[in-house]
Amino acid sequence: MDDSRAMNIFSCLDRAADRFPDRTGTYRGTEAVASFAAIRCRALALAGALAARWPAGERVAIVSENDPDLVPLLFGLWGAGLAAVPVNAKLHPREVAAIVADSGAVAVMASPALATALAGADLDEPLPPLWTIGSEAYGALFAGAPAGRAATVDPDAVAWLFYTSGTTGRSKGAMLSHRNLLAMATAHLADLDDPDEGTCLVHAAPMSHGSGLYMLPYMARGAAQVVPASSGFDAGEFLDLCDGHRGCAAFLAPTMVQRIRREAETRGRAPRHLRSVTYGGGPMYVEELKKAQAVFGPVFSQLYGQGEAPMTITGMSRRDHADAPDAVLGSVGWVRSGVEMRVVGEDGLPLPVDGIGEVVCRGDVVMLGYWRNPEATAGALRDGWLYTGDVGSLDATGCLTLRDRSKDVVISGGTNIYPREVEEVLLTHPAVDEVCVIGTPDPDWGEVVVAFVVPAPGAAPSPAELDAHCLTQLARFKRPKAYRFVPDLPKSSYGKVLKRELRTRCAAEPA
Please tell me whether residue 180 binds ligand AMP under the rule CB under 6 A: no
Question: Is residue 16 packed enough to be buried (19+ CB in 10 Å), middle (13-18) or exposed (0-12)?
Answer: buried
Size of the site for ligand AMP (CB under 6 A): 16
> Which of 410, 205, 402, 414 is closest to 313 using CA atoms?
402
Q: How far is the CB of 305 from ligand AMP (least distance, A)?
A: 6
Instruction: Give 397's contacts (C-beta < 8 A, 6+ positions apart).
Output: 334
The phi-psi region of residue 217 (left if phi > 0; otherwise alpha if psi is between -120 and 50; otherwise beta) is: alpha
Please tell me whether residue 278 binds ligand AMP under the rule CB under 6 A: no
Please tell me whether residue 262 binds ligand AMP under the rule CB under 6 A: no
Secondary structure of 165-186 in HEC code, one letter for each residue: CCCCCCCCEEEEEHHHHHHHHH
Q: Which long-range contacts (CB under 8 A, 24 or more apart) does 28-36 make?
A: 28/67, 28/68, 28/227, 28/229, 29/226, 29/227, 29/228, 29/229, 29/241, 29/244, 30/241, 30/244, 30/245, 31/229, 33/68, 33/69, 34/68, 34/71, 34/72, 36/222
Q: How far is the CB of 470 from ligand AMP (least distance, A)?
A: 22
Instruction: List the x/- string, 319-338, binding to ligand AMP by CB under 6 A.
Output: -------------x------
Q: Is 450 helix (H, G, I), strand (E, B) or coil?
A: strand
- Binding to ligand AMP (CB under 6 A): which residues in 468-487? none
Please tell me whether residue 317 binds ligand AMP under the rule CB under 6 A: no
> Which of 125, 142, 137 is closest to 49 using CA atoms?
142
Please tell me whether residue 281 binds ligand AMP under the rule CB under 6 A: yes
Which residue in 90, 273, 405, 503 binds ligand AMP (CB under 6 A)? 405
Please tell me whether residue 493 binds ligand AMP under the rule CB under 6 A: no
Q: How far is the CB of 129 from ligand AMP (least distance, A)?
A: 29
For helices 11-19 and 36-53, the axis angle rounded to 10 degrees is 150
Please tell me whether residue 132 binds ligand AMP under the rule CB under 6 A: no
Q: Does residue 264 contact residue 252 with C-beta atoms inside 8 Å?
A: no
Stretch that binds ligand AMP, among 133-141, 188-196, 235-243, 275-283 (CB under 6 A): 275-283
Tell me whether residue 165 or residue 231 sits nearer to ligand AMP (CB atom).
Answer: 165
Please tell me whether residue 419 binds ligand AMP under the rule CB under 6 A: no
Position 125, amino acid? E
CA 53 to chain centre: 32
Which residue in 214, 233, 296, 304 binds ligand AMP (CB under 6 A)? 304
Which residue in 23, 41, 95, 164 binds ligand AMP (CB under 6 A)? 164
Position 398, amino acid? G
Which residue in 307, 330, 363, 495 binds ligand AMP (CB under 6 A)? 307
Please tell me whether residue 385 binds ligand AMP under the rule CB under 6 A: no
Please tell me whether residue 165 binds ligand AMP under the rule CB under 6 A: yes
CA distance 356 to 335: 17
Please tell me whether residue 199 binds ligand AMP under the rule CB under 6 A: no
Tell me whether residue 58 or residue 390 sits nearer to ligand AMP (CB atom).
Answer: 390
Q: How far is the CB of 126 from ligand AMP (least distance, A)?
A: 28
CA distance 89 to 111: 9
Q: How far is the CB of 351 from ligand AMP (least distance, A)?
A: 18
Please tell me whether residue 370 binds ligand AMP under the rule CB under 6 A: no
**β-strands 248-252, 274-280: how paired?**
parallel
Q: What distances in angstroms separate CA 408 from CA 2, 55, 351, 403, 498, one per listed residue?
A: 45, 43, 21, 9, 11
Please tell me whether residue 363 binds ligand AMP under the rule CB under 6 A: no
> Which of 273, 266, 208 is closest to 236 using CA atoms?
266
Tell me whether residue 20 or residue 304 sits nearer to ligand AMP (CB atom).
Answer: 304
Q: How far is the CB of 347 from ligand AMP (least distance, A)?
A: 22
Position 141, amino acid? L
Q: Does residue 187 contact residue 152 with C-beta atoms inside 8 Å?
A: no
Which residue in 102, 154, 390, 424 binds ligand AMP (CB under 6 A)? 390
Please tell me whether residue 302 binds ligand AMP under the rule CB under 6 A: yes
Please tell me whether residue 280 binds ligand AMP under the rule CB under 6 A: yes
Tell me whether residue 289 or residue 295 sits nearer to ligand AMP (CB atom).
Answer: 289
Tell me whether residue 173 or residue 480 sits nearer to ligand AMP (CB atom).
Answer: 173
Please tell me whether residue 495 binds ligand AMP under the rule CB under 6 A: no
Binding residues for ligand AMP, rule: CB under 6 A, are 164-165, 280-283, 302, 304-307, 332, 388, 390, 402, 405
